[in-house]
Structure 1
């Protein structure tokens, strides 16, 4: 009976550890013991993705009417659990996937709130460094009456100082065994490099989340390892300039931004997108706010039309979404998979009753990664991510308390069926 259970658990685990786009990759076989894996002499937690970066307490201040400078304004102040990496991991967990979080918090009020929530959700705290010498990261955001951030102050030294390469190395087993690693750019460059190197040495997918314009420039130190990057427009420009080692790209003028069609917007942004792809990033997930997402890669759609993780396609997320978003949306029979071609698909956003937008991008990433881990392809994943982002902007918290898989699948179908190829030509 025990041997039967062990064989059953091995079968469950084996789905996680081969990438389909590397056909010669040997299966990485592991043995489950309870809810842990044996890796060398260390016990490591079972996870479907490793997420490294900020766990942050967000302080949200929302005025009841337009605020006046140099005085207080009546309104509401909330404590909200946040941090890019933390939000991504929580979103994944609420979509039925099991993330392994690597972060750092202090033994203070903010750290205790974050840890209490994490343990109550049944998520592993093994990768979370906690110490009295750490001041937990805190971000204070003041919103306008439309739910947009008007001003903010971020205290993120804990992540930059205490998420060290040594702490990353102590979690090597989890990084090397999960099929996907997501890093946010709150990490210092040495920790980013250590994380990505471990993942790539084990042939894992690496997702880089830029976090902000200033931090997005850290891509220069890890671009050779990155499979996915998920910048917004301003972060894209900053990354392209950093990778070009010159200031040749410029943000779009905000005043005329609404006058651009989707096709003209792609036309203006494609030179910067191409820089990221030429430097080695396989897929750029460019977020456009209310204009949706551009999904871009070199060649043609074949790489985006297959599961990126060799896995037994399974679970409620997969079963629900695959019925709504069939994988034959784009024919690949006669595609031109040439290295000089840019292939770009536009996915529209969904109408929403916006409460606040702070968690939308993180839930888009979390929903997409959860979908990849479930065995869906990146196009299906982005549709799920946009559906999760819609739920996020309609919630008071960064990540909704619950996701309805039926609602996610319905919204994903709407997005997926409306997606259009907007560019498939040579960039030469």
Structure 2
């Protein structure tokens, strides 16, 4: 099992390394590498799985020893594919690197992909920020050989600890769930106390931005002060979706705080907490993927880091209220309203 995993990580590493020769002339130059460009339209590249999810649901209570009638649905899935689809529905045009079988499932996936107007050719460009989505505890440990190439990562609590332990040969980090808490504020304080050593360790080892998902307790954003995910967020070409978000979210949260995440570099580390908002849960499948897709689309559309994460949390809420992995219709006005509610309750937990 170790050899296939090693080969996969080596393939990803080759994608992240600068090319040994100049790219073919047919490729467009990376827009982020030119200071003369006034407006850029980022082209995110998503690397990961595209799989067919099979959802089986009984229509009556099951009984052992007898056939159970029910319904089976085929749904396009896979974390990377979900993120890419979510971004496309938010007006961002991503590229994707994946492996798809030449079979019924592969045909189903590619047919749906093309029907959404998404590209089936991918080209390498260097010099772009990289987001690593851990997916699971086992896969999160694979960060070790590629950590130096990663700009941002979005683990949950246990994935965060697994990543820190994979990079730390001597110190071991731990996480224990709190059995009982009086309120959300107490839970957030406990989570920060438990997770901050691992978060700060990853920042010290080259990760520039951590988005730690906490389920119903919201999200931690951890980064150095004045970190920006891309060279100049203000020069990004806005999509119709991001334009609506920018208009509604203008003046929310950051205008009232001295911390600026889009300026000169600073050695201070900042941690922010963005709360989750109540939702009528139908299915949790795809919620984390929608959060990442929302964050990346927000960044590509010109939003700053904190507003982009708020948008991601709002789209994750829309996902849990839908049967599909990715909601069929994502309403910009509803997302903006939810994101604004999130930002109004956001807090700066730590900065020094």
The answer to whether TM tops 0.5 is yes
Which residue of 2 is the match for residue 376 of structure 1? 303
Post-superposition offset of 1:322 = 1.3
Which residue of 2 is the match for residue 365 of structure 1? 292
1:95 and 1:275 map into 2 onto residues whose CA distance is 33
Which residue of 1 is the match for residue 102 of structure 2? 107
TM-score of the superposition, structure 2-length normalised? Answer: 0.81
Post-superposition offset of 1:321 = 1.1
1:348 has 2:275 as partner: yes
Contact 1:308 1:378 (C-alpha < 8 Å) held by counterparts: no
Post-superposition offset of 1:328 = 1.9
2:321 and 2:100 map into 1 onto residues whose CA distance is 28
Residues 236 and 305 of structure 1: CA distance in aligned 2, closer, same or farther (over 3 Å): closer
Residues 366 and 73 of structure 1: CA distance in aligned 2, closer, same or farther (over 3 Å): same
Which residue of 1 is the match for residue 92 of structure 2? 97
1:234 has 2:186 as partner: no
SS in 1 for 2:257: coil
Q: Identify which of 98, 109, 129 aligns with 1:205.
A: 129
Q: Deviations over 1:249-288 (max 9, x none)?
A: 2232364478752122111110011111111000000001
1:273 has 2:206 as partner: no
Contact 1:236 1:272 (C-alpha < 8 Å) held by counterparts: yes
Post-superposition offset of 1:26 = 3.6
Residues 305 and 373 of structure 1: CA distance in aligned 2, closer, same or farther (over 3 Å): closer
**Aligned ranges for residues 20-419 of structure 1 at < 5 Å?**
26-27=34-35, 48-63=43-58, 75-127=70-122, 171-172=123-124, 176=125, 202-246=126-170, 248-253=172-177, 255-256=179-180, 260-298=186-224, 300=225, 302-303=226-227, 309=233, 311-326=235-250, 328-332=255-259, 339=267, 341-419=268-346
Q: Which structure features the higher share of strand residues?
A: 1
2:64 and 2:207 map into 1 onto residues whose CA distance is 43
Provide the aligned C-alpha RMSD in A: 2.9
Residues 308 and 273 of structure 1: CA distance in aligned 2, closer, same or farther (over 3 Å): farther
1:17 has 2:31 as partner: yes
Which residue of 2 is the match for residue 199 of structure 1? none
Contact 2:181 2:187 (C-alpha < 8 Å) held by counterparts: no
TM-score of the superposition, structure 1-length normalised? Answer: 0.67
2:294 and 2:76 map into 1 onto residues whose CA distance is 18
Residues 106 and 276 of structure 1: CA distance in aligned 2, closer, same or farther (over 3 Å): same
2:315 and 2:59 map into 1 onto residues whose CA distance is 27
Q: How many residues of Structure 1 are paired with residues of Structure 2 in the alignment?
A: 315
1:105 and 1:63 map into 2 onto residues whose CA distance is 29
Show structure 1 runs of 5+ residues with no match: 1-12, 19-24, 30-45, 128-170, 177-201
Q: Deviations over 1:74-122 (max 9, x none)?
A: 5543221100110000000000110111111112111111011111111
Contact 2:227 2:265 (C-alpha < 8 Å) held by counterparts: no
1:80 and 1:95 map into 2 onto residues whose CA distance is 20
SS in 1 for 2:99: strand
